[in-house]
Structure 1
Amino acid sequence: MGGSSSLREEARAWLEKNLSGPFAGARGLGGPGREHEGFELRHAWERHLGKHGWTCPAWPERHGGRAASLEDQVACYEEYARADAPARVGHIGEGLIGPTILEFGTDEQKDRFLPAIQRGDEPWRRATSPRRRRCSRCSTRRWRRTGGWTCWSTTPDSAARRRSPCTRSWRR
């Protein structure tokens, strides 16, 4: 239980206060094998987290994060779990897409994608297909549809983004 005790206490108090009222029913929703459970409520919760600066704790402050140390990030996640908060809708954007854009993206990509991920407006998801075909560029499983290759996903259809590195750029 490392991390800054003040950040841990702040996270604990904020979660306790905000996982009540309209979000009381969100406690414990979602998780592995239950990704569709309470998706709209969880997405609203994700936006609420973003509005109050509780998404993307590792990101630089100029991109909406807290520039939190690893210990402080762990403290935030421990308090999130302790509060039985709902499974995050934006974890792929926050933990995979966002850091990749931060490290390798152009300024235009950072301006376009990072604010929406931080606010919780655009949940991203890993896109795969049950078919055995794979994209030769990124090894994502794909299926052919008129006009090109399109990714399928196993997470809720209401998520805003289904992208692989080649969804837009590679056409057959």
Structure 2
Amino acid sequence: MIQTPEPASGIEPPEDAEFRAEVREWLAENLNGQFRELRGLGGPGREHEAFEERLEWDRALAAAGLTCLGWPKEWGGRDATLRQQVIFHEEYAKADAPSRVSHLGEELLGPTVIAFGTEAQKKRFLPGIRNVTELWCQGYSEPGAGSDLAAVTTSAQLEGDEWVINGQKIWTS
């Protein structure tokens, strides 16, 4: 785990304190009404809980600019510092907010596309991840291969407008 040391004074810099207050206030205001019942739902092994409602929650976070925090502004992020990203997760946990539906696209695929993708790939994939209109998963464990990526045999072929997957996965996340 990456440690983010406190400033020598023990006082948060003003921009971090402002960000913490923004996140805390937004969560307090929005984990009510239609989202009140989502508190604490969807944790490990319970990803099925209130999926559609949690998806709407993620879209509300996106509309508020609280997704893709560390992404560059040009791709819809906030250019948040590592400390601010930690602050967000601290406040999110304190609020007992629900587990996120879109975290794999936001935290794994998006940064990879930003770092290594072509401009066309960035334009195609990043907006859907940022706005939570496209969801992504990770799947690489196969019978006979386990998690040895060099040994996997599953493939996908484009047939018309659809990708047809040939093979078997043990799990996806």
Q: TM-score with structure 2 length normalisation?
A: 0.78
Report if aligned partners of 1:127, 1:140 keep a CA contact under 8 Å in 2.
Answer: no
Partner of 1:149: 166
1:72 aligns with 2:87: no
Using the alignment, how far apart are the partners of 2:155 and 2:113 within structure 1?
Answer: 28
Aligned with residue 114 of structure 1, among 110, 126, 140: 126
* Structure 1: 5+ residue stretches without partners: 156-172
Structure 2 matches for 1:44-123, cutoff 5 A? 44-123=56-135
- Superimposed CA distance per residue, residues 39-97 of structure 1 (whole angstroms, 9 cap, x where no aligned partner): 11111111111111100100011111110011111001111111111001111111110
How many residues align? The count is 154
Q: Residue 72 of structure 1 aligns to which amino acid in structure 2?
A: Q
Between Structure 1 and Structure 2, whose CA radius of gyration is higher? Answer: 2
> Cα 1:131–1:82, aligned 2, differ >3 Å: closer, same or farther?
same
- Identical aligned residues as a percent: 45
* Structure 2: 5+ residue stretches without partners: 1-5, 7-11, 158-163
Q: Residue 51 of structure 1 aligns to which amino acid in structure 2?
A: A
State the superposition RMSD in angstroms.
2.6
Using the alignment, how far apart are the partners of 1:149 and 1:100 within structure 2?
Answer: 25
Structure 2 matches for 1:6-25, cutoff 5 A? 6-25=18-37
Aligned-residue offset at 1:26 = 1.1
Partner of 1:26: 38
List structure 1 segments (4+ residues) > 6 angstroms apart after TM superposition.
144-147
Q: TM-score with structure 1 length normalisation?
A: 0.79
Report if aligned partners of 1:57, 1:73 keep a CA contact under 8 Å in 2.
Answer: yes
